[in-house]
C-alpha cells in the first residue's frame, strides 16, 4: 500500500504538475496576448489622438483668421470643427476584437468646452453624436452617452476655469480624470458580452489613452492657444501702433549714437520720410541727413545731439531742412535720451513739420508789430490832435478870461462867457477822448495814496452845488458814521467818477434834488467795502435802455449834449479799482447810480502844515521868469497871466535861445514849451541841466498841449520839474510855479521877507506847527496886489460878487450842525471860502476857515463848534473892512445885505 501508495503518488504528481504548467502557459499566453492587445490599442489610440492634434492645429490656423468674427459665430464654428475632428477619429477607430472598435472621440469633445466655451462644447457633442447615430450598431446608445458626458464635463470645467480667470493645469487634470472615469460607465449601456470583452481587453488602454491623451492634447492646444493669443495681441498692437504712427502729424524715429560714435536710424516711420522729404526706399544715414539739413543749422543740430547724449536731457530742437526741390521747411524734433547697457544712446521721438506754424508765428509777429505801429500812430495822432486842439483852446480860454476881467458891456460880457463855456466844453471832450484812449491802451495807471474820503465827498458836492442851486435844486451829501476818515487809493480818479455821476444827476434833473451818500456795507480783509450812491429825482431811464448807459458814445438823451464817454470812462475806472458800477432807475421817477468798491483803510499822513491860500498869496512874490514859447498867441496870453500875478517875464521863441538866455541872465524859473523849432523843450532842458550850478538846477516847468502820460514822463526824464497842460489854467499855472520854487532851499524864506509884517518866517511849512495869529481882518497890501493884477474895476466886481455870495455861505455854515455832528456841509462851505477870501486879502477869515476844516477832519467837534463862531466873526469883520476899502455906494449896499442875512445859530 505505501508502495502502491508511493507508486500512485509518483504517478499522480507528474499529472498535476503538467496541469499546473499548462495553466501557467495558458496564463502567460493570455497575458502576452493582453499585453500585445494593450500595446496595439495604445498605439492605435496615440495615432488617433495624433490625427486629432494635426487637425486641431489646422483648425487653430483657421481660427486665427476668424479672430475678428462675432464671438457666438466663432465659438459655434469652433465646436463644429472639434466635432468634425471627433468624426474623423470615429472614421478611423482602433479594433479591439472582431466587430469591436474604440477611439479617442471623448478627448476631443471634452476639450471643445474649455477652448471654445459652452456653445463649442455643445456643438462638438452634437456633431459627433449625430455621426455616431448615423453609424448605428449595438453601441449607439453607449457611444452617444459617452459623447454627451464628455461634452458636459468640458462645459462644466470651462465654467470653473472662467471663474478663476484662466484654463490652467489644474483644470486640465480634472478634465482628463473625469473623461477617463466617465468612459467605463458607458460600458454599462452595451450588451453584456460586449461589455465584458471591452472590460477585459480595452479598459486599461482606453483609460490610459483618455487620460494621457487629454493631458497631452489639452497641453498642446493650450500652448497653441496662448501662442495664438499672443500673436493676435502682437498683431493688434502692431496694427494700433501703425495706425497711431500713421495718424500722427509727423513721423516717428529711433536714433542711436553708438559707443563707436556712429549715428544711425534703426527705425523711421513712413511719416518721417514724408516730413523730411526723403524717398521712402532710401536708407537714413548721416550722409542723407547732411544733405537735407540747412547749412546754417547743421552745426547747431549736431551740437545739440552730442549735448543731449552727454547729459541725457530730452532733445527738443527746431531746425530747417532743404528739400530736393529747394524748398526750405521748418522741422520740430522732440525725443528722450536713454543709455543702454552696451553704452549706446537711444532717442525715441517724433518730428513734425512746423513750417506753417512758423509762418503763422511770423504773421502774428508782423501783425503785432503792425498793431503796435497802429497803436503808436493812434497815440501820436491823439497827441498831435490834442496839441493842435489845445493850442488854439489855450488862446480861446485864456483871452476869454482876460476879456471877462475887462470893463465890458452886459452883452459883451455874455458873449465872452459863451466863448469861455464853449471852450471848456470842447476841452472836456478832448479830456474824455484822451482818458478813454489811455484806458483802452492800458496806459492809464492808478495812484495809491492816502486821502480823506469825507473831504473828497464834500469837495464834489461843493463843486456842483452852485450849478444845482442855479436850477432850483437841492444838493446834499452824507457820509456814514462808520466810514473811515482815511483810505488808500487814487483820489483824483475817484473824484472824477463821483463828479461825473453828480454832474449827470444835476444835468438830467429839473425839479427836486440830488443826493450823494457813501456808506460802509461790510468789512473785508482788504478793507472796508463801500458803496457811493448818487440819487436824483430827474427824468429817469427806461429799463430797455439802461444796458446802454455804460457803453462808449452812448447817450440816452442827445438833446442834453455830451460825448457819451463819461459813464463808460467811469465804469472802466471803477473796474480798474476792483469795483463795480450800476444803476437803478424808473422812467419819470428818478435814478440811483452806485459804485461799490473795497478801499484799504489808511492812517492820516504825518506832514508839516500846508500853507493856506492866504499864506500862499503872502509867499508869492514877483519872480523873474523866462518863457520859451514859439507861438505868439500863447506867448501873449501867458505873459498877461504872469504879469497879472506880479511876475517879470522875458520871452524866447525856441530852445536854443532859452539855453543862451539862462546862461546870460538870472531867472527864478523857466516855463518851457515842449514843441519848438531849432531845439525843442526836451533838448533845451537837457542842455540846461548840463550847465554848472546854480544855473543847471533852475526850476523848469514844461508847457505842452499833449497831456498823455508818455509825454509827461518824457518831460520828467528830460529833467523838468513839472508839467502844465494847455489850455493853461491861470490858477493851476501859478500853483505849479509856487510848488516848483518852494522846492529850492532858502527861496521861500527870501520870498516871505518881501512881505514884512504880513506873516513871519515861523509860519512857513516845516518851521512851525502853528501859525502866528492874524490880528487884522483885511490885508490891504494883498488887496492892492489883486487890484494891480486884475484892474481896479475887475477887483471891485470880484469883491462885490464875493459879498453877494457870503451871506448864503454863512447861512449854511451853522454852528449847531457842527455841535450835533452833521459837519459834512459845514466843512464844504468852509473849504469853499478859503480861496476867494484869501485872494481878496481877508486873511483872518481864510485862516479861521482853514482851522475849522482841520478840526472837522480830525473829529474835534467841540473845538470845531468854537471855530465856527470864529468864522462868523471873521466874516463880519472882513466884510466890514472890505466895504470900507471898496469905493462907492455899492459896497455899502452889499454890507447891509450881509449884516442882515448872516444867521447865528447856537
Query: How confident is the model over 628-673, as pLDDT tens digits?
Result: 998 877 888 788 888 877 788 899 999 999 999 999 888 999 999 9
DSSP notation for 535-553: EE-SS---GGGGGGTTSTT
- At 601 the pLDDT is 92
Q: Give the range with max mean pLDDT: 366-370, 441-445, 859-863.
A: 366-370
Look up the CATH number of domain 34-232: 1.10.1760
For residue 532, the model assigns a pLDDT of 93
Q: Is the pLDDT of residue 189 over 80?
A: no
Decide which of 386 and 626 is more confident. 626
* Among the listed residues 525, 456, 465, 455, the one whose alpha carbon sits nearest the alpha carbon of residue 492: 456
**pLDDT of the residue at 769:** 28
Q: Which of residues 470 and 559 earns the better pLDDT score?
A: 470
> In terms of C-beta density within 10 A (0-12 exposed, 13-18 middle, 19 or more buried), how is residue 600 classed?
middle
How much is the pLDDT for 378? 72
What is the pLDDT confidence band of residue 53, given thresholds at 50, 70 and 90? low
Identify the pLDDT of residue 682.
93
**Of the given ranges (177-191, 311-325, 407-421, 777-791), which has the lowest mean pLDDT?**
777-791
**Which of the residue ranges 149-163, 369-383, 477-491, 613-627 would you say has the lowest mean pLDDT?**
613-627
Whose cell is 482841520? That residue is 854
Weakest mean pLDDT among 3-7, 67-71, 728-732: 3-7
pLDDT for 256 beyond 80: yes
Lowest-confidence region among 295-304, 366-375, 377-386, 619-628: 377-386
Alpha-carbon distance of 208 to 111, in angstroms, equals: 17
Share of the chain above pLDDT 70, in %: 75
Kind and range of the H or E run holding 266: strand 263-268
Task: In whole angstroms, give the CA distance from residue 605 to residue 721.
Answer: 24
CA distance 433 to 385: 11
pLDDT level of residue 46 (50, 70, 90 thresholds): low
Across the strands, what pairs with 809? none
Q: Is the pLDDT of residue 6 over 50?
A: no
Type and span of the H or E element at 449: strand 449-452
Q: What is the pLDDT of residues 590-631, one digit of tens each?
A: 888 899 999 999 888 655 444 443 344 444 557 889 999 988
Question: Residue 402: its pLDDT value, please?
Answer: 76
**pLDDT confidence of residue 152:** 86
Q: Are 122 and 79 in contact (CB under 8 A)?
A: yes
Strand order in the sheet with 315-322: 263-268, 251-257, 345-353, 328-339, 315-322
Cα 420 to Cα 70, 548, 705, 739, 794: the distances in Å are: 94, 32, 18, 27, 17
Least confident of 495-504, 648-657, 704-713: 704-713
Query: What gap in Å lies between CA 143 and CA 189, rounded to an integer?
Result: 9
Of 51-55, 867-871, 891-895, least confident by mean pLDDT is 891-895
What distance, in Å, lies between the first and last C-alpha atoms of the chain?
181
The grid coordinates of residue 756 equal 514884512
Query: Per-residue pLDDT tens for 844-873?
Result: 887 788 778 777 777 777 777 777 778 888
* Per-residue confidence (pLDDT) for residue 2, from 0 to 100: 34
> Which tens digit of pLDDT belongs to each residue from 841-852?
787 887 788 778
What's the average model confidence in pLDDT over 271-290? 84
Higher per-residue confidence, 760 vs 588: 588
User: Of 45 and 519, which is predicted with more confidence?
Assistant: 519
Most confident of 277-281, 435-439, 833-837, 901-905: 277-281
Asked whether the CA dihedral 265, 266, 271, 277 is positive or negative, the reply is positive
What's the pLDDT score for residue 112? Answer: 78
Q: Assess whether pLDDT exceeds 90 at residue 447.
A: no
- pLDDT score, position 484: 92
Task: For residue 94, give the H/E element and its range.
Answer: strand 94-97
18 pLDDT above the threshold of 60: no
Average pLDDT on 561-590 reads: 80
Average pLDDT value for the chain: 75
pLDDT at 762: 30
CATH class of 445-598: alpha beta
- The phi-psi region of residue 167 (left if phi > 0; otherwise alpha if psi is between -120 and 50; otherwise beta) is beta
Percent of the chain with pLDDT over 90: 10
- pLDDT, residue 796, reads 76
Return the top range by mean pLDDT from 279-283, 681-685, 743-747, 767-771. Answer: 681-685
Domain 248-353, second-level architecture = 2-Layer Sandwich (3.30)
| Mean pLDDT value of segment 221-229 | 78
pLDDT band at 541 (very low <50, low <70, confident <90, very high): confident
Question: pLDDT-derived band of residue 376, with 50, 70 and 90 as boundaries?
Answer: confident
Strand order in the sheet with 624-628: 648-652, 624-628, 669-673, 700-704, 722-725
CA atoms of 441 and 433, how far apart (whole Å): 12
Query: Is residue 565 pLDDT above 50, yes or no?
Result: yes
Q: How confident is the model at residue 788 (pLDDT cuts 50, 70, 90)?
A: low
Who wins on pLDDT, 246 or 454? Answer: 454
Question: Confidence class of residue 890 from pLDDT cuts 50, 70 and 90?
Answer: very low
How far is it, in rounded angstroms, from Cα 263 to Cα 285? 8
Give CA torsion, residues 179, 185, 187, 190, to 10 deg.
Answer: -130
pLDDT surpasses 90 at 699 = yes
Pick the more confident residue, 178 or 543: 178
* Helix, strand, coil % over all residues of the chain, rounded to 5: 60, 15, 25
With 80 as the cut, is the pLDDT of residue 135 above it?
A: no
Looking at residues 30-59, what average pLDDT do you find? 55
| Contacts for 286-292: CB closer than 8 Å, 24+ residues apart | 286/262, 289/263, 292/321, 292/322, 292/323
At residue 157, does pLDDT exceed 80? yes
Whether residue 76 is predicted with pLDDT greater than 70 in this model: the reply is: yes
Question: Whole-model pTM?
Answer: 0.43
Lowest mean pLDDT among 29-38, 183-192, 815-824, 896-905: 896-905
- C-alpha–C-alpha distance, residues 561 and 432, integer Å: 14
| pLDDT-derived band at 685, boundaries 50, 70, 90 | very high
Nearest to 878 by CA among 812, 828, 809, 785: 809
Higher pLDDT, 320 or 895: 320
Q: Are strands 700-704 and 722-725 parallel, antiparallel or unpaired?
A: parallel
Region 79-105 average pLDDT? 67
Residue 533 pLDDT > 80: yes
Amino acid at each position: 500500500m505505501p508502495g502502491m501508495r508511493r507508486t500512485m503518488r509518483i504517478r499522480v504528481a507528474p499529472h498535476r504538475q503538467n496541469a499546473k504548467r499548462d495553466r501557467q502557459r495558458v496564463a502567460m499566453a493570455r497575458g502576452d496576448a493582453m499585453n500585445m492587445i494593450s500595446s496595439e490599442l495604445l498605439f492605435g489610440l496615440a495615432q488617433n489622438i495624433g490625427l486629432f492634434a494635426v487637425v486641431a492645429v489646422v483648425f487653430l490656423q483657421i481660427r486665427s483668421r476668424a479672430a475678428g468674427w462675432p464671438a457666438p459665430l466663432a465659438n459655434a464654428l469652433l465646436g463644429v470643427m472639434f466635432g468634425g475632428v471627433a468624426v474623423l477619429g470615429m472614421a478611423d477607430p482602433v479594433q479591439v476584437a472582431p466587430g469591436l472598435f474604440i477611439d479617442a472621440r471623448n478627448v476631443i469633445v471634452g476639450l471643445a468646452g474649455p477652448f471654445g466655451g459652452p456653445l463649442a462644447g455643445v456643438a462638438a457633442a452634437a456633431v459627433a453624436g449625430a455621426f455616431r447615430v448615423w453609424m448605428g450598431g449595438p453601441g449607439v446608445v453607449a457611444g452617444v452617452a459617452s459623447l454627451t458626458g464628455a461634452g458636459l464635463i468640458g462645459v462644466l470645467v470651462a465654467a470653473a476655469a472662467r471663474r478663476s480667470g484662466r484654463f490652467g493645469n489644474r483644470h486640465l487634470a480634472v478634465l482628463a480624470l473625469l473623461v477617463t472615469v466617465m468612459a467605463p460607465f458607458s460600458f454599462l449601456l452595451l450588451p453584456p458580452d460586449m461589455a465584458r470583452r471591452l472590460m477585459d481587453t480595452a479598459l486599461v488602454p482606453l483609460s490610459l489613452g483618455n487620460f494621457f491623451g487629454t493631458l497631452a492634447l489639452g497641453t498642446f492646444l493650450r500652448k497653441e492657444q496662448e501662442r495664438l493669443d499672443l500673436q493676435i495681441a502682437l498683431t493688434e498692437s502692431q496694427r494700433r501702433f501703425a495706425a497711431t504712427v500713421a495718424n500722427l502729424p509727423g513721423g516717428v524715429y529711433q536714433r542711436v549714437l553708438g559707443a563707436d560714435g556712429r549715428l544711425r536710424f534703426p527705425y523711421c516711420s513712413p511719416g518721417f520720410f514724408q516730413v523730411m522729404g526723403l524717398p521712402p526706399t532710401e536708407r537714413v544715414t548721416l550722409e542723407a541727413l547732411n544733405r537735407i539739413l540747412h547749412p546754417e543749422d547743421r552745426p547747431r543740430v549736431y551740437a545739440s545731439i552730442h549735448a543731449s547724449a552727454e547729459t541725457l536731457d530730452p532733445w527738443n530742437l527746431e531746425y530747417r531742412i532743404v528739400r530736393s526741390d529747394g524748398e526750405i521747411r521748418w522741422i520740430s524734433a522732440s525725443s528722450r535720451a536713454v543709455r543702454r547697457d552696451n553704452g549706446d544712446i537711444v532717442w525715441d521721438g517724433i518730428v513734425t513739420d512746423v513750417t506753417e506754424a512758423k509762418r503763422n508765428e511770423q504773421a502774428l509777429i508782423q501783425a503785432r508789430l503792425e498793431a503796435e505801429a497802429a497803436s503808436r500812430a493812434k497815440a501820436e495822432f491823439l497827441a498831435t490832435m490834442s496839441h493842435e486842439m489845445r493850442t488854439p483852446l489855450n488862446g480861446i480860454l485864456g483871452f476869454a478870461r482876460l476879456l471877462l476881467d475887462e470893463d465890458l458891456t452886459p452883452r459883451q460880457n455874455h458873449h465872452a462867457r459863451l466863448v469861455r463855456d464853449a471852450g471848456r466844453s470842447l476841452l472836456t471832450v478832448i479830456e474824455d477822448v484822451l482818458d478813454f484812449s489811455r484806458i483802452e491802451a492800458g496806459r492809464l495807471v492808478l495812484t495809491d495814496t492816502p486821502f480823506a474820503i469825507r473831504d473828497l465827498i464834500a469837495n464834489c458836492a461843493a463843486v456842483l452845488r452852485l450849478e444845482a442851486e442855479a436850477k432850483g435844486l437841492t444838493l446834499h451829501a452824507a457820509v456814514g458814521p462808520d466810514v473811515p476818515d482815511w483810505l488808500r487809493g487814487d483820489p483824483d480818479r475817484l473824484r472824477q467818477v463821483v463828479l461825473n455821476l453828480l454832474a449827470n444827476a444835476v444835468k438830467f434833473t429839473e425839479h427836486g434834488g440830488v443826493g450823494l451818500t457813501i456808506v460802509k456795507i461790510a468789512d473785508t480783509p482788504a478793507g472796508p467795502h463801500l458803496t457811493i450812491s448818487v440819487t436824483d429825482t430827474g427824468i429817469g431811464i427806461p429799463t430797455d435802455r439802461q444796458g446802454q448807459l455804460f457803453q462808449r458814445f452812448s447817450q440816452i438823451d442827445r438833446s442834453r449834449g455830451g460825448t457819451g464817454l463819461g459813464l463808460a470812462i467811469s465804469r472802466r475806472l471803477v473796474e480798474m479799482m476792483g469795483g463795480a458800477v450800476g444803476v437803478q432807475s424808473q422812467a419819470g421817477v428818478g435814478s440811483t447810480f452806485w459804485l461799490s468798491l473795497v478801499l484799504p483803510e489808511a492812517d492820516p499822513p504825518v506832514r508839516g502844515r500846508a500853507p493856506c491860500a492866504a499864506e500862499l498869496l503872502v509867499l508869492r512874490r514877483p519872480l523873474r521868469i523866462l518863457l520859451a514859447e514859439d507861438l505868439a498867441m500863447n506867448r501873449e496870453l501867458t505873459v498877461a497871466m504872469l504879469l497879472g500875478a506880479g511876475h517879470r517875464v522875458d520871452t524866447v521863441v525856441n530852445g536854443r535861445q532859452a539855453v543862451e538866455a539862462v546862461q546870460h541872465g538870472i531867472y527864478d524859473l523857466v516855463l518851457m514849451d515842449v514843441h519848438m523849432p531849432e531845439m525843442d523843450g526836451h533838448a533845451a532842458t537837457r542842455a540846461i541841466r548840463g550847465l554848472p550850478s546854480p544855473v543847471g538846477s533852475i526850476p523848469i516847468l514844461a508847457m505842452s498841449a499833449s497831456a498823455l502820460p508818455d509825454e509827461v514822463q518824457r518831460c520828467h526824464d528830460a529833467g523838468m520839474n513839472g508839467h502844465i497842460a494847455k489850455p493853461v489854467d491861470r490858477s493851476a499855472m501859478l500853483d505849479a510855479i509856487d510848488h516848483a520854487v518852494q522846492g529850492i532851499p532858502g527861496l521861500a524864506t527870501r520870498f516871505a521877507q518881501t512881505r514884512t509884517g504880513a506873516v513871519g518866517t515861523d509860519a512857513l511849512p516845516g518851521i512851525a506847527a502853528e501859525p502866528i495869529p492874524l490880528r487884522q481882518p483885511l490885508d490891504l497890501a494883498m488887496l492892492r496886489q489883486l487890484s494891480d493884477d486884475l484892474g481896479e474895476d475887475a477887483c471891485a466886481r470880484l469883491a462885490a460878487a464875493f459879498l453877494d455870495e457870503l451871506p448864503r455861505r454863512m447861512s449854511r455854515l451853522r454852528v449847531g450842525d457842527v455841535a450835533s455832528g452833521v459837519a459834512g456841509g459845514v466843512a464844504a462851505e468852509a473849504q469853499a471860502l478859503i480861496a476867494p477870501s484869501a485872494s481878496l486879502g481877508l486873511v483872518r477869515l481864510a485862516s479861521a476857515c482853514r482851522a475849522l476844516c482841520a478840526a472837522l477832519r480830525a473829529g474835534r467837534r467841540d473845538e470845531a463848534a468854537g471855530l465856527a463862531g470864529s468864522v462868523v466873526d471873521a466874516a463880519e469883520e472882513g466884510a466890514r473892512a472890505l466895504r470900507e476899502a471898496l469905493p462907492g455906494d455899492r459896497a455899502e449896499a452889499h454890507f447891509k445885505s450881509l449884516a442882515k442875512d448872516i444867521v447865528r445859530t447856537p
